[in-house]
Amino acid sequence: MYPTLVKFGAFEITTSGLMMFLGFIVGGWILTRNLRRHGMDDDLASSIVMAAALGGILGAFTVAQLISVIAVIIGAFIMARARAGATEPRALRTEP
């Protein structure tokens, strides 16, 4: 898989971005067909897809930031233990 498909100066189209875009387009198309079949307003599909896209992107960003914060906290804890002389986990220590 190529990480970057097309690059125009500072603008680039990535593989993951293209697949996410296609997923939302196909999902919106299927949702529109189902709403029509059930006699509902098919303009509702665009609102649902937009809310799903924003929620998915913001949720992914939030989770990525949370994982970064947790990694920093764990790294600080490991460094503090290493400075204190604890180089092995307690389960692996042979002395009492």
26 vs 16: CA distance, rounded Å = 15
pLDDT of residue 91 exceeding 60, the answer is no
Q: What is the dihedral of CA 16, 19, 24, 30, to 10 degrees?
A: -160
For 41-88, what is each residue's pLDDT tens digit? 888 999 999 999 999 989 999 999 999 999 999 988 888 777 766 655
Give me the residue spans of the domains in the chain: 4-92
75 backbone dihedrals φ, ψ, rounded to 5°:
-60, -40
* Residue-level pLDDT at 14: 93
Q: How is residue 9 annotated by DSSP?
A: T
* Residue-level pLDDT at 89: 60
| C-beta of residue 21 within 8 angstroms of C-beta of residue 5 | no
